[in-house]
Amino acid sequence: MRLLISGGGTGGHIYPALALIDTLKKDDDSNSFLYVGTNRGLESKIVPNAGIDFKTVEIQGFKRSLSLQNFKTIYLFLKSVHEAKKIIREFKPDVVVGTGGYVCGAVVYAASQMHIPTFIHEQNSIAGVTNKFLSHFVDKIGICFEAAKKEFPSRKVVFTGNPRAQQVANIKATGRLAELGLSENKKTVLIFGGSRGAKRINEAAMDAFSLFDTNEFQVLFVTGSIYYEKIKNEIGEKKLNNIVVKSYIQDMPAILPEIDLIVGRSGATSLAEITVLGIPSILIPSPNVTHDHQTYNARSLADIGAAIMLKEDMLSGQTLADEVNGLMKDDERRTRIAQEAKKAGIPDSSTRIEKVLIDLINR
Which phi and psi (to 5°) does residue 32 adopt? -120, 145
Determine if residue 160 is labeled as part of a ligand binding site: no
Amino acid residing at 207: D
Residue 73 has pLDDT above 80, yes or no: no
Determine if residue 11 is labeled as part of a ligand binding site: yes
Determine if residue 124 is labeled as part of a ligand binding site: yes
Confidence of residue 61 (pLDDT cuts 50, 70, 90): low
- The Cα 145–Cα 142 span in angstroms is 10
71-85, 86-100, 156-170, 203-217: the lowest-pLDDT one: 71-85
Pick the closest to residue 307 from 261, 269, 255, 360 (CA basis).
261
Confidence of residue 60 (pLDDT cuts 50, 70, 90): low
Determine if residue 350 is labeled as part of a ligand binding site: no
Question: What is the sign, positive or negative, of the torsion defined by CA atoms of 41, 294, 301, 253?
Answer: positive
- The Cα 276–Cα 144 span in angstroms is 12
| Dmax (CA) of the chain | 66
For 5, 34, 62, the CA distances from 72, given in Å and listed in that order, are 25, 27, 9
- The Cα 100–Cα 172 span in angstroms is 30
User: What's residue 70's pLDDT?
Assistant: 52
User: What's residue 290's pLDDT?
Assistant: 79
User: What's residue 197's pLDDT?
Assistant: 84
- CATH 3.40.50.2000 for domain 2-165+347-362: yes
Same fold, 2-165+347-362 and 176-344: yes
User: What's residue 24's pLDDT?
Assistant: 96
Predicted TM-score (pTM) of this structure: 0.89
**How confident is the model over 216-258, as pLDDT tens digits?**
999 999 999 899 999 999 888 777 889 999 998 888 889 999 9
User: What is the DSSP secondary structure assignment for residue 240, as one 8-state letter?
Assistant: P
Residue 75 has pLDDT above 80, yes or no: no
Q: What is the CATH number of domain 176-344?
A: 3.40.50.2000
Average pLDDT over residues 59-83: 68
Q: Which residues, at least 6 apart from 8, have a Cβ–Cβ distance to it below 8 Å?
A: 14, 37, 38, 41, 42, 43, 101, 102, 103, 104
- The Cα 190–Cα 177 span in angstroms is 11
Determine if residue 105 is labeled as part of a ligand binding site: no
User: What's residue 83's pLDDT?
Assistant: 95
The structural domains of the chain, with segments of one domain joined by +, span: 2-165+347-362, 176-344
In our burial notation (b when 16+ CB lie closer than 10 A, e otherwise), range 225-262 reads: eebbeebeeeeeeeeeebbebebebeebeebbbbbbbb
Average pLDDT over residues 268-277: 95
